[in-house]
Structure 1
Amino acid sequence: MTRTLRRQLPASDTVLLGVGGMLGAGVFAAFGPASGVAGSYALVGVVLAALLAACSAFSTADQARAFPGDGAGYRYTTQLLGPWPGRMAGSASIAGRLAAAAAIAGTFGAYVTPSRPLLGALAVLAISVALDVVGFRLNRGLNWAVVSIVVVMLALVVATCAAVPPPPITNAPDADQPLGLLTSAGILVFAFLGFERITAPGLDEPSFTARRLHLAIPVSLVLVLGVYLAVGYAAFRQLGPTRLALSPAPLLDAVVSADGQWIVPLVTAGAAVATVAALLGVLSGARRTVTTVAKARDLPAALTSDRAAGWIGGLVIAVMLIAVPPSTAIGFAACAMLAYYAFTNASARILLKEDRTWPMRTACFGLGLSVLYGMTMPPFLLATTIGVVLLGSAGMSLYRRTV
């Protein structure tokens, strides 16, 4: 079964759509928790995270062509591995996306309303949920504007931090921890969430030929990786691993450290644009997954409504915002999405040959990396993720038996 092609975007727009999907809150916040576990080795960790993102992008692209529609990994895994693995993938996907939304909203609060970060986070969440449930989407022009604003602002940050010598930095004796490299890679997977905007679009979104994706996926990932390495280097140069790990808004602190107070308003504006765009994308993905699971009768029928799924998801995200800081939400989102990518790569391994446009080895490699990174995550996050996935899948199964 192959995707029936719908409207196509130019190659440049396809690449920009992928870049815009990934260049959200991660560049503003993910290096903090990654630095806390690995120090400057997090710069290597971001390369390892990009490797897993590439394998997972290849897997979801092939599966989306074979099984077009909303719900992504939940549907693929159910079709190829069975109902129980599908429910586990669905639970991981929903939990990961909701936690990612909480982290993104929290990042908005840290950068845009630093005096009252929680209030700012809750406000942007409420506005974004309202926009999502009424069907607001970033069109071609808005996507170009968002990417242009964010890239120009990040270039200013890198240039400012590179132009001024860093102040004397005192780090903890064990600030750089090579043993934390894989853990940092797992956390930095958060930085690449959003590639499914081009690899697994919904039925009402533009689709892409296999040939187009063979260009767009590698190019967009390489561009995003280059941005992350440049920004990460600039932040580590000005702040050092210890201060970076403790900062709720590391790019603001980095430019202030480099005597760049004049661009603080630009960084704030860029963070606002990037986080709102990323939040809209994550909320849409979570809502689509919830409605797909509900239509398959693994969740209550009331959740087949976009409005109900959107507002209930927003309520759960608000509780997360109040209960945990953004750094913890980033870690949990990454851990849950690692579980999700393990299932999607595992299911991609058994696609029929005629449905495959990328080598099967990439899916095998993606499965191995997902498990490897996941097993090195902090024990609390790993245990919470396992609990959520098991309880979520068990709850879906029990509900299915009652309907």
Structure 2
Amino acid sequence: MGQARGATWARVPAAAAVALGAGALLTSGPAAAAAGWWSVAGLALAGLVALLTAVSLADLAAQSCLTGVSAHVRTRLGVLPGRFAGVLDIGGRVVGAAAVAGAVGAYLWPAQPKVAAIGVLVCVAGLALGRVRFSGPSRWVIVGVTMVTVAVFVTTGLAIEPVRQAVDAVADAPGANDATGILAAAGVFFFGFLGVERAVGPRARTGLVTVLVVAVASLLVFVTALRQLGGPRLALSPTPLRDALAAADGAAIDPALTVGLAVGGLLAVRSLLAGAGAGLTDLAEAGELPAAATVHRHLITAVAAAAVALMVDPTTAVAIAATLLLGSAAFLNSAARTLCREQRSSWVPTGCCGLALSVVVGVNISTGSLLAAVVVLGVGTGLCTLRVRRVRSDTPG
């Protein structure tokens, strides 16, 4: 029992590193574009949604040996909701991997970011296909590099007084302080809490600790970038952390920043594609997809992410990914609503609260991301439905 608890708590730093690897690269610019300094409130709201969802997942996991989102939803709510949840979760992770790869590409090769993004995805897919796994020490090195990079960026950015902006942000322009954009900023910031589920398991307290660690670190990164660049510049920057570091007269340590962000980004891409592959396996085991989807899951997810990275810029991709993942979170929280009080780890009805907030935040990110999520859900659900009907038609009797 003690060893299991220790192993669960040991996953907290790794989960936080995955979340920061994704969030630090992607969320600051779009969040600032939506609400300016009001995005801080959006970050708090995103953290609350992530916490409620993490506790719901922990409570569900404590009642069964299931691990996948769609498996929990299928067991509690039925086949069709489980199919919806699985498609949304897989789609969100694939699009999210493309977004992170695109952001890493912008830092590694600014002249050809899409080429660099494909290179990142090929590298991660190669490691997965070659069954290369990071050992304990190497994993801790990766986590340490990510954390140190964030610490150096925040320390440098907060130690230097920012240059006063020559022109104030115009009202309604990207980056202006706009309280009406809090929900959109919260949706984008929710993407920065990816990886929290890796530390949850059946213990809700580990989810709480991970969410708090990620929230504090994300707040420091965002405040540092926004303080140095101001809302308009941060909203338009493809590499906000690099530009914020340059504004803080820290260009000399840019190579170290690039390496650290690349390492964190690679860790996040690997985790996202692994999660999408696990989702494919779950649907295949439930008969929703062919068995070949399990065998070729690494190739399928990598190719899909590469296609998204070529077609969609990282800012748009992160909005779509966040919408999809919030949809999946809504179904997961809805499944947790079926738990009675004795089965919940808290007196707070996390399922009800998480469901409401997931829906409200998800539909307010942007109209384009909502439409894209509907298309992904429709196509994915349609493919699963056709597969099920074909199996039934081929089954005698």
TM-score of the pair, normalised by structure 1: 0.91
Is 1:280 aligned with 2:270?
yes
1:63 correspondence with 2:60: yes
1:146-165 to structure 2, matched below 5 A, reads: 146-165=142-161
- Are 1:330 and 2:318 counterparts? yes
- Does the Cα contact within 8 Å between 2:96 and 2:317 map onto a contact in 1? yes
| 1:9 counterpart SS class | helix
Q: Do the aligned partners of 1:165 and 1:258 also contact (CA within 8 Å) in 2?
A: yes
In structure 2, runs of 5+ residues without a counterpart are 392-397
Q: Residue 9 of structure 1 is aligned with which of 3, 6, 11?
A: 6
Matched, 1:345 2:333: yes
Deviations 1:57-112 (A, max 9, x none): 11111222323245x11101111000111111011011100001001111110112
Q: In structure 2, what is the Cα distance between the partners aligned to 1:5 and 1:60?
A: 22
Q: Larger deviation: 145-154 or 265-274?
A: 145-154
CA drift of 1:171 comes to 4.1
TM superposition shift of 1:139: 3.9
2:349 counterpart SS class: helix
Distance between the aligned counterparts of 2:134 and 2:47, measured in 1? 25
Counterpart in the other structure of 2:185: 184
Of 235, 256, 259, the residue aligned with 1:245 is: 235
Offset of 1:23 from its aligned partner? 1.8
1:199 and 1:136, CA in 2 relative to 1: closer, same or farther beyond 3 A? farther
Q: Does 1:375 align with 2:363?
A: yes
Residues of 2 paired with 1:374 and 1:248: CA distance?
A: 24
C-alpha RMSD over aligned residues:
1.9
Contact 1:31 1:42 in 2 (8 A): no
Task: Output the CA distance in 1 between the equivalents of 2:89 and 2:8.
Answer: 28
The one-letter amino acid paired with 1:266 is: A
Does 2:308 align with 1:312?
no
Q: Which of 25, 33, 38 is matched with 2:35 structurally?
A: 38
Distance of aligned partners of 1:5 and 1:258 in 2 relative to their CA distance in 1, 3 Å threshold? closer
- Greater Cα shift, 378-387 or 162-171: 162-171
Q: Give the CA deviation at 1:18.
A: 2.8
1:324-369: per-residue Cα shift (whole Å, max 9, x none)? 0001110000000010000000001103555432445112111111
CA contact under 8 A between 1:26 and 1:190: conserved in structure 2? yes
The residue identity in structure 2 corresponding to 1:351 is L
Match of 1:141 in 2: 137
Deviation of the 1:311 alpha carbon: 0.4
1:361 maps to which of 342, 349, 354? 349
Q: C-alpha separation between the residues in 2 aligned to 1:56 and 1:322? A: 31
The match for 1:87 among 83, 87, 110 is: 83
Amino acid at match of 1:27: A
Q: Is the 8 A contact 1:132 1:283 kept in 2?
A: no
SS of equivalent residue, structure 1 residue 25: helix
Rounded to whole Å, the distance in 2 between the matches of 1:65 and 1:138 is 28
- For residues 17 and 318 of structure 1, the distance between their equivalents in structure 2, rounded to whole angstroms, comes to 25
- Deviation of the 1:390 alpha carbon: 3.1
1:188 Cα offset (Å): 0.9
Mean CA deviation greater in 274-283 or 36-45: 36-45
Q: Structure 1's 134 and 264: CA in aligned 2 closer, same or farther, altered over 3 A?
A: same
Measured after TM superposition, the shift of residue 38 of structure 1 is 1.0
Structure 1 residues 249-268: aligned runs within 5 Å: 249-268=239-258
Whether 2:283 is the aligned partner of 1:293: answer yes
> Would the aligned equivalents of 2:11 and 2:198 in 1 still touch at CA under 8 Å?
no
Say which of 94, 100, 103 aligns to 2:96. Answer: 100
Query: Among the aligned pairs, what percent are the same residue?
Result: 35
> What secondary structure is seen at the aligned counterpart in 1 of 2:133?
coil
- What is the CA distance between 1:9 and its match in structure 2? 3.5
- Report if the CA contact (8 A) 1:16-1:143 is conserved: no
Shift of 1:370: 0.2
Which segment is superposed worse, 4-13 or 252-261? 4-13
The corresponding residue for 1:233 is 223
Match of 2:126 in 1: 130
Give the Cα separation in 2 of the matches to 1:118 and 1:163.
Answer: 34
Q: 1:5 to 1:302 in 2, by over 3 A?
A: farther
Give 2:394's aligned residue.
Answer: none
Report the equivalent of 1:384: 372
Amino acid at match of 2:248: A
In 1, distance between residues paired with 2:283 and 2:228? 46
Task: Look up the SS of the partner of 1:320 in the other structure.
Answer: helix
Distance 1:140 1:86, change over 3 A: same
> Structure 1 pair 159/360, CA: closer, same or farther in 2 (3 Å)?
closer
CA distance in 1, matches of 2:277, 2:163: 45
> CA contact under 8 A between 1:171 and 1:241: conserved in structure 2?
no
| Rounded Cα–Cα distance in structure 2 between residues aligned with 1:87 and 1:29 | 29
Aligned to 1:205: none
Cα deviation 1:217-254 (Å, max 9, x = unaligned): 22221111111111111100110111111111111000
CA distance in 2, matches of 1:221, 1:326: 24
| 2:207 equivalent among 198, 211, 217 | 217
- Alignment gaps of 5+ in structure 1: 201-208
8 Å Cα contact 2:102-2:314 kept in structure 1: yes
**Cα pair 2:89 2:276 within 8 Å, conserved:** yes
Cross-structure match for 1:398: 386
Tell me the number of residue pairs that the alignment of Structure 1 and Structure 2 aligns.
Answer: 386
